[in-house]
Structure 1
Amino acid sequence: MTAAGFARAQPHVLAYEGKFSNHPDDPGGRTYEGITQRVYDAWCAANGQPKRTLSKDTGKWAGWTEQRDAIYRKQYWDAVRGDELPAGVDFAVYDAAVNSGPGRAIRWLQRALRLNRIDGVFGVATLAAVKAHPDKDLLVAAICAERLTFLQALGTWKTFGKGWGRRVAAVKATGQAWATGSVGPAPDKIDDASAKAVIESAPPAPSTAGADAAIGAGSGTATVGTVIESVRQQIEPYAGASERVQQIVVALIVLGALVTFGGLAWRWYTKRKAARLAEALA
């Protein structure tokens, strides 16, 4: 719970972030050592520095290391009040902030603390709850569990999931070690773990439109079920004249029932899936 936490956490974060990247599926875009072009440009503008394009040679720039660490401290560490967090917890929240933004990292901390208000704002109540938590080791694990659930719900999980999963596991192991007073593992590079994991990469909630069309939920138009029923009513008067027509009437009755019950089941499934997605994305 000191400023030394930043110096201890930074080598691990940099090992996960790697050097230059510009993956087409990474919402962070052009990035060097975890600093995106957008973040770097904003920092340069705020500090009266000339803007430069991040590239594979960025590490050779004079003063880059100092700029990089100043951005990390201001943009992420200070944003999650890293100096005030217990050992291990500080690392778990800080690395999450680098990867997904401070607001999202604070939400995971608040969810792990089981606070009533989950708003991504690190105020007095959140800090008090952290200090009062009896098991910081367990708190680190809970933060990482919330983070992993979010990552797995993103549309980019299929591309970056393997690296993200290894990163979260490494953060958990290191954070828990520090929380219990152990030295913990040395910083270790993880491939494909640097892509930014943000809410904008979440898939759209599943639609109930197909189910609604079958059962008529929220619709004033004809549904599949009503069309089938209409056809059945039109041909039913002729059922007595032909066994074949009788069979068609029975088939339409069964089909109408299947469409209705199938629509209800599909609507229940999609609503449940949407609720789970919303919960995972907090």
Structure 2
Amino acid sequence: MVATNFAPALKCVLVHEGGLDDDPNDPGGRTAYGIIQRRYNQYRRAKGLPVQDVWKISTSERTEIYDVYYWRVIRGDKLPAGLDYAVFDACVNSGEAQAGKWLQRAINDQRAKSGEAPIAVDGRIGDGTLQAVDEIDDVDAVIGFMQQRRLAMLRELRTWRYFGKGWSRRVAEVKKLAQAIADGSVPAPMPAGWVTAPATKVSGKALPSDAKPLPSPDKGVVSSAIGTVSSGASTVTTTLAPAQGMSPTIDLVLQVLLVVGIILGLAGAAWAWWANREAKRMAAALDIGPPPAAGNDNAPPAEAEAA
């Protein structure tokens, strides 16, 4: 755990974040080297400077923003080598709160293997989380768990269709590099200067706010179609019921409608079962859950970053 890890970690982050972007599909909007316009405005105002186009950002400004608004927020100097880079990269791409949750859940995944009690998951990397980090006996494993959870959430974002391929590559490269740097169960040589990932930029901020809507048992195209058809069948049945027995054709129609009603009922039950199961799966991937446990001593995070 050394303070000098910031420089190589930033160099690796910029392998994926380097360049100027204004992709209409990117929720981060106008971006320079991974810094969004809103963050740059915040930085300039804090310095008493007029806001300007983020594409005019200087190298020194970029470095200071990454240090103050990302590295220090995740308390990178207090994290083990390799894990600091993994959390830093996640913070830049998806925000400090989400990066903190991935770290905490990955720690809990590791603690569960040894029967230890879980820590609170609130996205705040405070003293409680750092104490749990100090107790990690396999940093490589925690990095692996963290990247699994990260990729699971990214797959649930509406922007996956635009950036999914690049995100998948980025997550895999961060995992490989971070585990090469870290101590633990993954045998990998320490890379010289940390820079082993290909110099290809992966654009697109991966924000939890861009998640796909969770399916609902009583909402959606399928449930609406079932309701419409079921209502129509019920109306026809009610209309024809008084004529039952008067015509073989009417009797056949009523029998068919009865079968249709049964099928629709089963379809509705199946949809409700699937929607409930899928909503639970997505909620777990998106870290949508109950509030953090009482007594957590993590410090409040800095202003949430939509990046």
TM-score, reference length from structure 1:
0.88
Deviations 1:73-110 (A, max 9, x none): 11110000100001111010000001111111000001
In 2, the alpha carbon distance for the partners of 1:150 and 1:87 equals 24
1:203 equivalenced with 2:212 (yes/no):
yes
Question: Structure 1: which 5+ runs fail to align?
Answer: 217-222
Write the letter of the residue equivalent to 1:67: E
Aligned to 1:168: 171
1:157 equivalenced with 2:164 (yes/no):
no
CA RMSD, Structure 1 to Structure 2 (Å): 2.1
TM-score, reference length from structure 2:
0.81
Higher relative contact order structure (alpha carbons within 8 Å, sequence separation ≥ 6) = 2
In 2, the alpha carbon distance for the partners of 1:214 and 1:44 equals 52
Deviations 1:191-246 (A, max 9, x none): 45131111221122224225666888xxxxxx754653453354234332222122
Write the letter of the residue equivalent to 2:257: L
Query: Which is further off, 167-176 or 126-135?
Result: 126-135
Aligned to 2:233: 228
Change in 2 beyond 3 A, CA 1:186/1:269: same
Question: How far 1:122 moved relative to its partner?
Answer: 1.3
Change in 2 beyond 3 A, CA 1:192/1:272: farther
| Partner SS, residue 24 of structure 2 | coil
Aligned to 2:20: 20
Alignment partner of 1:183 out of 172, 187, 190? 190
Q: Larger Cα Rg: Structure 1 or Structure 2? A: 1
Deviations 1:163-196 (A, max 9, x none): 1111111100010011138323624345451311
- How many residue pairs match? The answer is 270
In 2, the alpha carbon distance for the partners of 1:166 and 1:77 equals 23
Alignment partner of 1:123 out of 117, 126, 131? 126
In 2, the alpha carbon distance for the partners of 1:25 and 1:214 equals 31
Alignment partner of 1:194 out of 203, 213, 225? 203
In 1, the alpha carbon distance for the partners of 2:232 and 2:252 equals 18
Query: Which is further off, 142-151 or 180-189?
Result: 180-189
Question: Structure 2: which 5+ runs fail to align?
Answer: 109-117, 288-307
Query: Is the contact between residue 107 and residue 142 of structure 2 (CA under 8 Å) also seen in structure 1?
Result: yes
Query: Is the contact between residue 87 and residue 179 of structure 1 (CA under 8 Å) also seen in structure 2?
Result: yes
Change in 2 beyond 3 A, CA 1:265/1:132: same
Aligned to 1:77: 71
In 1, the alpha carbon distance for the partners of 2:29 and 2:199 equals 19
Percent identity, aligned pairs only, is: 41
1:145 equivalenced with 2:148 (yes/no):
yes
Query: Is the contact between residue 140 and residue 179 of structure 2 (CA under 8 Å) also seen in structure 1?
Result: yes
Query: Is the contact between residue 44 and residue 50 of structure 2 (CA under 8 Å) also seen in structure 1?
Result: yes
Query: Is the contact between residue 16 and residue 194 of structure 1 (CA under 8 Å) also seen in structure 2?
Result: yes
